[in-house]
Amino acid sequence: MNTLRRLPLLTFVSCLFAVSAFAADEVVQRAADHARSHPAGEAPASFVAADYHGDLRDLPIGVFDSGVGGLTVFEAIKTFDGFNNATGQPGADGVPDFVHERFVYLGDQANMPYGNYPAVQKTDFLRELILKDAAFLLGRRYWRAPGDAAPALDKPAVKAIVIACNTATAFGLEDIRAAAQAWGVPVITVGVVEAGARGYAESRGESAGSIAVFATVATCASQAYPTAITRVLGEKSPAVWQRGSVTLAAAIEGEPSVKQTIPEIVDYEIRGLLDERLKAGSASAALDSVMLGCTHYPLVEQEIVDALAKWRDYTTADGTKPYAALVTDGKIHVVDPAKWTAQDLWRSLAQAGLLRPATGTAPAGGDQFYISVANPQWPGVKLDADGGLDRAYKYGRTAGDLSREDTVVVPLTPARLPTSSAKLVRERLPATWASLTAAAR
């Protein structure tokens, strides 16, 4: 791109991987040491460092989430058209900006939802899961099918990592950057939280209302979005309301243990948020914006907007409307961090000179999709009736064993998606569905 200055690699690496607060942290150090001790990439959470020598532009872009919710971010990236492909200048040209790129997607569904680990004091284990996700994308190792005698070692490395999971961004973004620095790997890392905060700042217009962040319990507890929004907007930052759901992401994933329907859960969470504001007696402005702070939630955006309207207009038997002053009677501004993440990714790759050249041909190999599943052959693993990890076992694990393989990563096909998730992807994420079905052929 003739309008963009290509940064020297060493300059890029030193700028991107400034020493983080987690640089000497035990969890990060353990992951860094483990990967370095397996330079052939034959072990879990390891990769081949030699894959990061030379020109990296032809490598794919990695995207990971705790499940299939991150496919909403994948869709946003695949369809993003914010720049002119010929000049690199801002402005749509009718051609998706990543049309010359290929992708590797990982959904760690066997270990989801990530948002529940901090609630049971397993934050270090969650951070370890996130670092293992990153190492998987960097590496070559996966299983062609559960129960195979040995893993395959032919997955491509990636030149960038998109953390499509809000909880993983909140708890693991700096960890991944610190680990990449320790590994000496020049990989770009982009997270959805910062992108969402910047997107809200750019799109809110003259809004003076409050914003509600709907996310997992862990993302809300981390204060990631209020912190990021305040960092971006400063004195102009609005009141930020938060509501974390324990079950909504799992319900969208089709988790059998969740018995309520998606509309029932959304309705419950919206009323819960409004009841909290009533009890707080807050004098903050009425809610006029919503941050979809979990990658699963764009799939139920309309249900969230409809529930807000329902409870705003709710009338009690005595004719009062207890929630009317809490929600704007105008249009709710919905912020989906996914499209802003796509923008951040494009800018980061362009500035580093890592966009794949526009050769006029589609990238060889196409997109690849992977998902984690429980590994019944692992010693001591406990499964539930549906073949997933038993809940007590899942949340009883502790950090410290990066060779643990009670879950294995296998190719994601439409058949491996829960029925409800497959329907949502097929109907609401058409570019992703087309790519996923093509990869399965």
What does the pLDDT look like over 40-50, one tens digit per residue? 999 999 999 99
- pLDDT for 362 equals 61
Instruction: Name 271's Cβ contacts closer than 8 Å, sequence gap at least 6.
Output: 307, 311
Alpha helix segments (H runs only) across 184-300: 192-203, 217-222, 224-233, 248-253, 262-280
Please tell me the distance from the alpha carbon of residue 101 to that of residue 147, in angstroms, as a whole number. 32
Angle at 351 between CA 345 and CA 353, to 5 degrees: 100
Residue 7 vs residues 20, 197, 332, 349: alpha-carbon distances, Å: 22, 26, 41, 10
Q: Are 429 and 75 in contact (CB under 8 A)?
A: yes
What does the pLDDT look like over 95-152, one tens digit per residue? 999 999 999 999 999 998 888 898 899 999 999 999 999 999 999 999 999 999 999 9
What the chain holds in terms of domains, given with CATH numbers, is 9-192+339-439 (3.40.50.1860), 195-336 (3.40.50.1860)
What does the pLDDT look like over 36-79, one tens digit per residue? 999 999 999 999 999 999 999 999 999 999 988 899 999 999 99
Residue 19's CB is within 10 A of a number of other CB atoms, namely: 10
Where residue 426 falls (left for φ over 0; alpha for ψ -120 to 50; beta otherwise) is: alpha
- HSE-CB of 297 using CA atoms within 13 angstroms: 27
Please tell me the distance from the alpha carbon of residue 200 to that of residue 191, in angstroms, as a whole number. 15
- pLDDT for 414 equals 92
- The model's pTM: 0.85
What does the pLDDT look like over 266-320, one tens digit per residue? 999 999 999 999 998 866 789 999 999 998 898 899 999 999 999 999 999 999 9
Q: Are strands 407-411 and 368-374 parallel, antiparallel or unpaired?
A: antiparallel
Please tell me the distance from the alpha carbon of residue 230 to that of residue 364, in angstroms, as a whole number. 43
Please tell me the distance from the alpha carbon of residue 336 to that of residue 30, in angstroms, as a whole number. 34
The token pair at 264 is 């029932």
Strand order in the sheet with 287-292: 240-245, 210-216, 287-292, 333-335
Indicate the pLDDT class of residue 363, thresholds 50, 70 and 90.
Answer: low
